[in-house]
Amino acid sequence: MAADIRLKESSLPSITDRIVATYVECGGIHHLDHCPLPSREVIIRMIDDLHEVLYPGFSRRQNLHLSNVEYHTGALLVTLHDSLTEQISRALKHDCEAHGTPLIDYEQIGQRKAVQFLETLPDLRRTLADDAQSAVDGDPAAADTTEVVFCYPGLLAITIYRLAHELHKLDIPLIPRMMTEYAHSKTGIDIHPGARIGKRFFIDHGTGVVIGETCDIGQDVKLYQGVTLGALSFPKDDAGNIIKGQKRHPTLKDGVVVYANATILGGDTVVGENTVIGSSVWITSSVAPNMVVTLEKPNLRIKGTGLPGPSSRTA
């Protein structure tokens, strides 16, 4: 037993050397000799603080009322301002180093962008109130907005997306994607922060929903679980590299409803106003307004001998 332990201990330096050698060999997947990156732990704490600001009384601090909520919110905003400033500064500095772009005062720029982001929160609360109400209006199982805020993964994913989208609009790298991927891990809903989504947006059930970076979604749109709004193909340049910055994902106009497991692909694909897309439909071209798109009725065959009646039937 002692010999085995000594053997293991003696092999550890060799394993360490071999691992460190890969840091040179595979340089793209380490972050050595660079400035600190944004912290995942701090970003998650920021999301929790922002949730507390947006939905006071629902999260960590209860027994809030109008006489103490101002102090509570103000204290949260001070913490958020400081955390945002540091994390945005880190993200900006890393981005400039990665692309060889000079920047002089990262902290000053980070502080300015932090304030610009916090300025969006009042209007964002109004938008989220409409999103929560759309869940109540669109789901007979939703008793009220309290249940939606407490229990609906769709609203959590939309909340984090809308926060991340504001940071994305401020050209802040890394952090918006870190936020939406955290929401993805918590809810199973994958919304890229670059997508543009209108008011009163509702995702019912939610698991497996994917919304790509260049999606445009209008107002009063409803999606069910398993819906994919994705890219049809990736155009490449003469060297075979993917061309970025083009619209790759579909547009859904106002009032569209997309049922479970439907797939809508392509940057030129537009689904017109008030159109309903049925379950499991695969769409790669535009659909006019006020249409209903469904699959032909499939055959259901049930076989068995344990019960009286026909052994099989077609539905």
Give residue 311's pLDDT. 47
Q: Could you say which DSSP state residue 295 is in?
A: P
Same domain, 161 and 237: no
List, for residues 244-302, the tens digit of each pLDDT value. 889 999 999 999 999 999 999 999 999 999 999 999 999 999 999 999 999 987 787 88
Same domain, 184 and 202: no
Q: Could you say which DSSP state residue 39 is in?
A: P
Give residue 102's pLDDT. 75
Same domain, 46 and 124: yes
The domain spanning residue 275 has which CATH number? 2.160.10.10
Provide the whole-model pTM: 0.89
Same domain, 104 and 227: no
Tokens standing for 84?
């945002």
Question: What's the domain range around 36?
Answer: 21-188
Q: Which parts of the chain have pLDDT scores under 70?
A: 1-10, 103, 306-315
Same domain, 182 and 54: yes
Give the Cα separation of 291 and 88 in Å (integer): 45
DSSP 134-154: HHHHH-TT---HHHHHHH-HH
Same domain, 93 and 238: no
Give residue 237's pLDDT. 80
List, for residues 77-94, the tens digit of each pLDDT value. 999 999 999 999 999 998
Number of domains within the chain: 2
Same domain, 274 and 164: no
Tell me phi and psi for residue 200, to 5 degrees: 55, 50
Helices and strands: H and E segment counts in the chain = 8, 14
For 76-94, give one letter per residue: b (16+ CB within 10 A) or e. bbeebeebbbbbbbbbbbb
Give residue 194's pLDDT. 98
Give residue 39's pLDDT. 96
Exposed/middle/buried for 161, CB within 10 Å: 0-12, 13-18, 19+? Answer: buried
Same domain, 175 and 203: no
Extract the runs of DSSP E, i.e. beta strands, from 1-150.
Answer: none
